[in-house]
Amino acid sequence: MTPSGLLTTARHRLTHRRVWALATPMILSNISVPLVGLVDTAVVGHLDGAHHLGGVAVGATLMTFILWAAGFLRMGTTGFAAQACGENNGDKLRLVLLQPLWLALLLALLVWLVHEPLLTAGLYFLDSSAELLEQARIYFNIRLVSLPAALANFVLVGWFIGAQRARAPLYLLLAVNITNVVLDVFLVVVLEWGVAGAAWATVIGDYVGLLLGLALLRPVLARYPGVMRWTDALRLRGAAPLIRANRDILIRTLALELVFYLLVLQGARLGDSVVAANAVLLNFLLLTSHGLDGLAHAVEALGGHAMGQRNRLAFKRVLVVSTFWSLVVGVGFVLVFNLFGNQIISLLTDLESIRQVAFDYLPWMAWMPLVAVWSYLLDGLFIGATRARAMRNAMVLAVLLIYLPAAWLLRDTGNHGIWLGFYLFMLARGVLLGGWFIWLWRRDRWMPA
* 40-63 tens-digit pLDDT: 666 776 666 666 667 777 777 778
More confident residue, 413 or 349: 413
444 contacts 310 by C-beta, under 8 angstroms: no
3-state secondary structure 329-358: HHHHHHHHHHHHHHHHHHHHCCCHHHHHHH
310 contacts 319 by C-beta, under 8 angstroms: no
pLDDT, average across residues 114-118: 83
19 contacts 298 by C-beta, under 8 angstroms: yes
What pLDDT is attached to residue 355?
86
What pLDDT is attached to residue 167?
84
What pLDDT is attached to residue 82?
83
Instruction: Return d(Cα 348, Cα 354) in angstroms, integer.
Output: 10
pLDDT, average across residues 67-73: 77
Closest to 128 measured CA to CA, from 254, 283, 349, 279: 279
189 has pLDDT over 80: no
What pLDDT is attached to residue 127?
60
The string of pLDDT tens digits covering residues 302-359 is 887 787 778 888 888 888 888 899 999 999 999 999 999 888 888 877 778 888 888 8
236 has pLDDT over 80: no
199 contacts 138 by C-beta, under 8 angstroms: yes
What pLDDT is attached to residue 350?
75
For 326-355, b where at least 16 C-beta lie within 10 A, e where not — what string? Answer: bbebbeebbebbeeebeebbeebbebeebb
What pLDDT is attached to residue 128?
63
pLDDT, average across residues 415-444: 91
More confident residue, 308 or 80: 80
Task: Grade residue 91 by pLDDT with cuts at 50, 70 and 90.
Answer: confident
pLDDT, average across residues 365-370: 91
Highest mean pLDDT among 69-83, 302-316, 424-438: 424-438
Residue 139 CA, chain-centre distance (Å), reads: 20
Query: How is residue 163 annotated by DSSP?
Result: T
What pLDDT is attached to residue 125?
64
The string of pLDDT tens digits covering residues 246-265 is 788 888 888 887 888 888 88
Task: Compute the C-alpha angle 193/197/203, nearest 5°.
Answer: 155
Closest to 42 measured CA to CA, from 449, 308, 344, 318: 344
pLDDT, average across residues 182-191: 84
Instruction: Return d(Cα 383, Cα 390) in angstroms, integer.
Output: 10
Task: Grade residue 121 by pLDDT with cuts at 50, 70 and 90.
Answer: confident
Instruction: Return d(Cα 140, Cα 196) in angstroms, integer.
Output: 9
Task: Grade residue 14 by pLDDT with cuts at 50, 70 and 90.
Answer: confident
Q: Is 120 helix (H, G, I), strand (E, B) or coil?
A: helix
Instruction: Return d(Cα 133, Cα 51) in angstroms, integer.
Output: 8
Instruction: Return d(Cα 118, Cα 127) in angstroms, integer.
Output: 17
Average pLDDT score over the chain: 83
Q: Give me the residue spans of the domains in the chain.
A: 3-442
Question: Looking at 28-32, 165-169, 367-371, 375-379, which range is the least confident one?
Answer: 28-32
